[in-house]
Amino acid sequence: MEDERSLSLLKLMVNEGLFPSPEEDEKRKIIVEKLKTIVVAWAKKVAWQRCLPKQQIAATSATILTYGSYGLGFHDPESDIDALCVGPFFATIAEDFFIVLHNILKSRPEISEIHCVKDSKVPLMRFTFDGISVDLPYAQLKVLNVPENVDILNLSLLTNIDETSWKSLSGVRANQRILLLVPNLMNFQSMLRCLKLWAKRRGVYGNLNGFLGGVHLAVLAAFVCQNQPNASVIALISNFFSTYAMWPWPTPVMLQDGMSSNVEDVIETRFYMPIRLPCSPYEYCHSNVTKSTFTKIRAEFLRGHSMTRDLLKLKLDSDVGRIFEPFPYSTNYTRFVKIYLSAPDQDELGDWVGWVKSHFRCLLLKLEAVQGFCDPNPMEYVDMDASEPNVVFYWGLNRSRSNFVYIEPVEEDFSRSIYCGYYGIRGKMELSIVQASELPKNARFDSGNGKKMKACWKMLDYNQRRTPAYSQHLPSYFVGYVESNGDTEYPSTGG
């Protein structure tokens, strides 16, 4: 019976379009191979710029390591490729990555919409390669040659690397450890596809909004797989919900890795939901979970548990499908905070929305202070009646505090937070309170449909306000152009 239900669940995943076709997978593999070829040539070019000996130029290399949903093997047709560029000791991030490699990538006809995201927790370049979005951070190792099969779990290779490189490597290292620790990789990947769909449909996916990100789900799922190594996919889903519905937070979730002694009754009080990355030295997943989002995530764990605890009574299609029903915002809440963001054109809107979203935790905490609870629906919508490009969010408000009508003080406070330090063309940000009955038809939340926008902050147009940049190591050598206000860095979401 469990096998039948697992098969039914996998059919549902196929019908939802969560599995890429063989052609789409092959396209991604080709993109990664092309990027590897590009960064090897880039490393040799930079070595030549540094006037290294010919034998060192010939020996030097760089590589690409994938991570995220693609690296773990549960990506869907719309997923980005998270790809880390790992370079040699002489290739710097400021000059060689963000200028030299940027210009190499920009010159290629199959690459478009290239942006530099410099002032985030993990600085990166973001671009489209043959129609697929790629996030490319950088890590610099203290070696001349970075082979294609570089072992980044080997701590001796990471000695004396800078903090930015360490942060860039942490996601890849966590991915590689997870893949080594899960007992049944195929079941783990199928489970993750299901959980990501569940989290998106139920409004608990998205680190910027204070919910679960991909790495959080991966560690939580891997923990369940370790404890139930022979379970079917549907049993793993059921065990996932039963495990975390009853989990004694803030006790951390830690994978069994055979290296650390998992101390019982460990409490990590800095986070509501501490989840430890499974690679030494141990760190916790970055988290934006607040009191409100923690309450909602736990409620969804409990709902999932109540729906899956009796596997034998689950009907093959109807009950399994109910797990993934979209969260009914318009019936759960009577009032919403409407967050309206607009900009003069679509490119500027992408920059502006990304910047504001990176400050959403600040807004959520302000609303919690006056409301006690706020549900920050991650879905993005468009106001079809507005003339300028825009994105709209609707966050559910506490039913028990219906006297909250004065949003202006929160808007003024939040405006100061987002306008300070933003160097692009400022967009508009307006907050208002709307009743559920006033929601436009495209924002009734019943279909789970919305606008998807990848947040980023781009370099200023390559042909405008550009200043020539020369190598710090070879002053007469021209390496490319930077913005005229070259010390300006544009923040990002941090992934």
Best CA proximity match to 136, nearest among 273, 43, 39: 39
Q: Which residues are catalytic?
A: 69, 80, 82, 135, 196, 205
Structure-token match 């191979």, residue found = 33
C-alpha 264, offset from chain centre: 30
The 3-class secondary structure across 348-398, one letter per residue, is HHHHHHHHHHCCHHHHHHHHHHHHCCEECCCCEECCCCCCCCEEEEEEEEC
What distance lies between CA 14 and its chain's CA centroid? Answer: 23
**Separation of alpha carbons 347 and 126, rounded Å:** 14
Report CA dihedral (345, 347, 351, 354) to the nearest 10 degrees: 100
